[in-house]
Structure 1
């Protein structure tokens, strides 16, 4: 029986960090030169295996090890990062999956019982264009080309133009749905990005599903006026209304037991000598219960309208993106927990607050499960993101055992 080499995965993670990071953290933002370099790093290692490598019409990278059956086990992750991100978020999934692919290839002499595929999803983070899960949503079918065509980064570059630079045509992206035609199971490993496992002093956990997300822009419209000559009591200050709303989201989150985040704020005219005429903010709301999530968004709109009226302003709302709560496959959750218990004495089941490509694959109808490994301090999307190396070794072993169980599950 062949076994994976978790130490090799850690060494490759460190090599990728050296290649695509700097003193501020990971810089593998989607469709940039560093992201392209990360893809080349992966391709160099895939070239050592008897796999078919191709990029689908959405820009997702696939490595396929053909098996006796056309039914497929998918193992996925993403190489892209947020700016100044951590060394593990996303790329751990891919490089651990690479190590599992190596082990399966060695064990079966290049011909496993089922086809096994490793996928690097494009732009999971959404850090550049504000729309997470770009590549996996193209594959799942939950993808609107017209809406995507409206997206621009902070430098004014459109998503369509950024894709063209890496050889992808936005209008063709929905053709990526063909990649899931024979998918029978999907596995994804990820750092937890939260404090639960560390608080329980456990290295690994089986994920029940991902919370639902409502993501919107809220724009307050006031009146620009001279900051020196306009009395405070007659100002129509869009930023004042937005600031009051920013406080209110904490009340909303507590009321419903969810989370709410104002992640970005943009003001116009944006100069020190003018009252703010326009203030646009982004709101991210998350909850495991669909009804509570919908109620949080309704209350947010009502609160924004109230604060706008109180300040002599108006407010408009626009949709960015949303996804309903997604529960993972019960049998694969059991298999994930059993795999964990083969490498450590105790497991824990928990939901995922962050979004993951696994949610898109699951809502496309593919049986899915995720495996979490502990995050130190619960911190992610930050250069101090970290996981103990002994825990990284354990998660590679657990993912490998889960892959074996998934292969058997697909064959039955």
Structure 2
């Protein structure tokens, strides 16, 4: 067994070849970015390409009702719970080549190398590529289906920003939307889930560390906020007689640092990323301000405190400036803790490989966030150069990709024999 493990080696040229081929699917040669949004023709082409690569790797290939693509390396004891490894292939508009794809292709390479070496794991190993992680129709559609979080209401009502309905798109792709509800997995059928991802931030790159071992994945809430005052003439309305919605929004933005300092943690984040003033005239006092608020932390209690305090701040500002306010909760995701036994295995293997690493949180949401609700889950990061992601400038050195994939390989070789429970007892 030891000899077989030693012969299961990551092939960087094969990994590079797959990245090159996948990166050509959905590439816009004029701007350089990828356009492979969920359930577009390019996304469907990527799924078919992945299935062919899985077959070439000797895996048993399947596609479930949510469009998730899987490749399985059968274990010696197929009745044992499976180990899942993966991420997604869909992208945001004008994307880079690594977000999501790294997790799928590195997992595929690990299983390909094991199969090539004649290594048959005790637990079956499954590479999975989830549908619509990036949120064309809300986000994490595929992993929500697998974890039983998908509802008939979501299937019926979900639309993209252009008003295109998810159900209509699935039917055009030859899929029965209601079959997505059948993609749910029994938690007892799963041993654990692992996901390799680029950091999408600057911490590892600045510290010149090769891998990050993710302890916690942030939770978040997103609001659409409206402040209403009264539109009026910019020249004839005295400053002390205005109901200026912009001033209310500006004061709220100024309050964000205070709210975080008093009620948040070092892991707290709050962002106003989109704003609109109405009626939008240069010589008119804004009567309405619409803006987004995105708040994140890894502690659910801190998130609740921040939600309460941001509501209080809005209420006080509206009262003081004679404005009306309302907000709509667009999404809420609970933070999750990664499996400490699995983290211990990752850390042990990182030391064995001589990698520079750190334990750290994830400030972005991932499919792992859904999977952690039904099975032990862990993530590992590799550096993003300059902290860039969701852009054509997104990149990670091949050395770091190779290091991360090797760490994933060694961890899988361990967990595929011991399982998570045995690792914890050890």
The answer to whether the 8 Å contact 2:227/2:289 transfers is yes
Superposition deviation, residue 271 in structure 1: 6.4
Name which of structure 1's ranges 395-404 and 216-225 shifts more when overlaid on structure 2.
Answer: 216-225
- Structure 2 distance, partners of 1:67, 1:8, is 24
Q: Deviations over 1:240-277 (max 9, x none)?
A: 43333233323333331310112333555566676555
1:296 maps to 2:303 = no
Q: Give the match for residue 407 of structure 1.
A: 416
Q: What is the aligned counterpart of 1:60 among 68, 80, 84?
A: 68
Q: What is the aligned counterpart of 1:182 among 182, 189, 195?
A: 189
Q: Give the match for residue 326 of structure 2.
A: 316
The answer to whether the 8 Å contact 1:205/1:349 transfers is yes
Superposition deviation, residue 237 in structure 1: 4.1
- Structure 1 distance, partners of 2:185, 2:89, is 22
1:31 maps to 2:39 = yes
Q: Structure 2, unaligned stretches of length 5 or more? A: 1-6
Within a 5 Å distance, the mapping from 1:353-368 to structure 2 comes to 353-364=363-374, 366-368=375-377
Superposition deviation, residue 226 in structure 1: 6.4
Superposition deviation, residue 229 in structure 1: 7.0
Q: TM-score, normalised by structure 1?
A: 0.89
The answer to whether the 8 Å contact 2:124/2:416 transfers is no
- Taking only aligned residues, the RMSD between alpha carbons, in angstroms, comes to 2.6
Q: What is the aligned counterpart of 2:18 among 9, 12, 28?
A: 12
Within a 5 Å distance, the mapping from 1:324-335 to structure 2 comes to 324-335=334-345
Q: Give the match for residue 270 of structure 2.
A: 260
Superposition deviation, residue 168 in structure 1: 4.2
> What is the SS of the residue equivalent to 1:291?
helix
Change (3 A) 1:332 1:223: same
Q: Deviations over 1:22-61 (max 9, x none)?
A: 3242222222222223222212212313333232222222
Q: What is the aligned counterpart of 2:115 among 105, 109, 113?
A: 105
Change (3 A) 1:294 1:124: same
Change (3 A) 1:268 1:347: same
Q: Structure 1, unaligned stretches of length 5 or more? A: none
Q: What is the aligned counterpart of 2:131 among 96, 106, 122?
A: 122
The answer to whether the 8 Å contact 1:7/1:393 transfers is no
Change (3 A) 1:48 1:80: same
Superposition deviation, residue 97 in structure 1: 0.9
Change (3 A) 1:341 1:55: same
Q: Give the match for residue 159 of structure 1.
A: 166
